[in-house]
Amino acid sequence: MPDLRSIDAIVTEQQKNSLARAIDQVNTLVVGKPQQVKLAFVAVLAGGHLLLEDVPGLGKTTLAHALAQTLGLGFKRVQFTTDLLPADVIGVSIHEPQHGRFVFHPGPVFTGVLLADEINRAPPRTQSALLEAMAEHQVTVDGVSHPLPDPFLVIATQNPTDLSGTFPLPDSQLDRFTLRLSLGYPSPAAERALLRGEHRRQMIANSPAQLDAASITALRQAVTQVHVSDALLDYLQALLAASRQHADIATGLSPRAGLALLQSARAHALLRGRGHVLPDDIQAVFVALAGHRLVAAGGLLDGQALAQTLLARVAVD
């Protein structure tokens, strides 16, 4: 039997209302994608990073801007291009003769929300500049470590790797993203609302922040208090083990992926108004969490299909 902990013991009424308003606002700005918006907030509450992948023009950058505006954190955008250098992202030390020493000039990564737009248009060397920032929430330049703001969130957009002018993200980079989402084409009703409605950019600019650094930190702390029973941990570990033993999977899920799955399931349970995790929470986030981490043997299946296969094969005891 799970610990049926009340959500009221974890979050206050004010926190619940603020979070509900934040989700409603993003759903107003990004029409017809409630599931993707919910999973985006799962990544935020789990303390992770978010990768948005789709063909151009489907609203990836709009979702990123809407999230950043709603979260109320400092925000900077970097357009990744083939000539972007690592120093353009993390910063550089410049010798200043008047001081007789090198002075570090922070790059745009020193912010609450960094939008890495079209991240896979930059070469691997520049992509890797974000690895330490995403994993350790700091950057090291000339042997000196510089902490990043807390909370810190990377929202990256990328085009499918079969499009021209893209560089595939290395596996180590992909593993730093908690969830990968695709928006897809809008429904006819959602597209009509877009065509008749106000310009999204103006709507986002006029939208108030619904959260701030302190409230996000408090909600992330609340997520860690969501109860996970031993039976749920057994199910989670069974999924991890199955990913490492499946004949069609060359590279299974790492322990870091397992920790991300645990936190994401907790965040999903909190968003559903529960203080305990159910199998539904793990299943709801699993494809978005595992799809970009699983490497197919022979390249016959994509990661999302493999993740769906694992969910179908691993039973809930």
**Residue 155 domain-assigned (yes or no):** no
Boundaries of domain holding 314: 227-317
Is the pTM of the predicted complex or chain greater than 0.85? yes
Written as six digits, the tokens of 189 are: 């009703």
Is 317 a domain residue? yes
Mean pLDDT (whole number) for 98-115: 89
Reduced to 3 states (helix: H, G, I; strand: E, B; else coil), residue 1 is: coil
The distance of Cα 131 from the centroid of its chain, to the nearest Å, equals 14
pLDDT in tens, 249-294: 888 899 999 999 999 999 999 999 999 999 999 999 999 999 999 8
Show the 3-state SS of 163-204. CCCCCCCCHHHHCCCCEEECCCCCCHHHHHHHHHCCCHHHHH
Q: What pLDDT, on the 0 to 100 scale, is given for residue 2?
A: 47
1: confidence class by pLDDT, cuts 50, 70, 90:
very low
pLDDT band at 163 (very low <50, low <70, confident <90, very high): low
Does residue 253 belong to any structural domain of this protein? Answer: yes
Mean pLDDT in the chain? 89
Token output for 14: 């004010």
The stretch 103-111 carries a mean pLDDT of: 92
> Is residue 307 in a domain?
yes
Q: Which long-range contacts (CB under 8 A, 24 or more apart) does 212-215 make?
A: 212/71, 212/72, 212/73, 213/72, 213/73, 213/112, 213/149, 213/150, 213/151, 215/15, 215/18
Give the chain's domain count: 1
Domain assignment present for 55: no
Q: Which two tokens stand for residue 250?
A: 């060359």
The pLDDT of residue 46 is above 90: yes
Measured in whole angstroms, how far is the alpha carbon of residue 81 from the centre of its chain?
A: 21
pLDDT score, position 112:
94
182-204 pLDDT tens trace: 988 888 988 888 888 777 888 89
- Select from 152, 151, 104, 150 the least CA-distant residue to 130: 152
Is 295 contained in some domain? yes
CATH of the domain at 281: 1.10.8.80
**Distances, alpha carbon 236 to alpha carbons 95, 210, 244, 260, in Å:** 51, 33, 13, 11
Alpha-carbon distance 191 to 235, whole Å? 39
Band (pLDDT 50/70/90 cuts) for residue 101 is confident
What is d(CA 120, CA 163) in angstroms, rounded to the nearest whole number?
A: 10
Q: Name, in order, each residue with C-beta under 8 angstroms of 211's C-beta and a sequence gap of 6 or more.
A: 18, 19, 22, 70, 71, 72, 219
Average pLDDT over residues 24-41: 94
Respond yes or no on whether the N-terminal peptide bond of residue 151 is cis (omega within 30° of 0).
Answer: yes
Q: What is the mean pLDDT of residues 103-112?
A: 92
* pLDDT at residue 4, rounded to an integer: 66
Residue 3 confidence class, pLDDT cut points 50, 70, 90: low
Residue 115 domain-assigned (yes or no): no
Identify whether 204 is part of a domain.
Answer: no
- Judge whether residue 164 has pLDDT over 60: no
List the structure tokens of 197. Answer: 């409605």
CA distance 66 to 30: 8
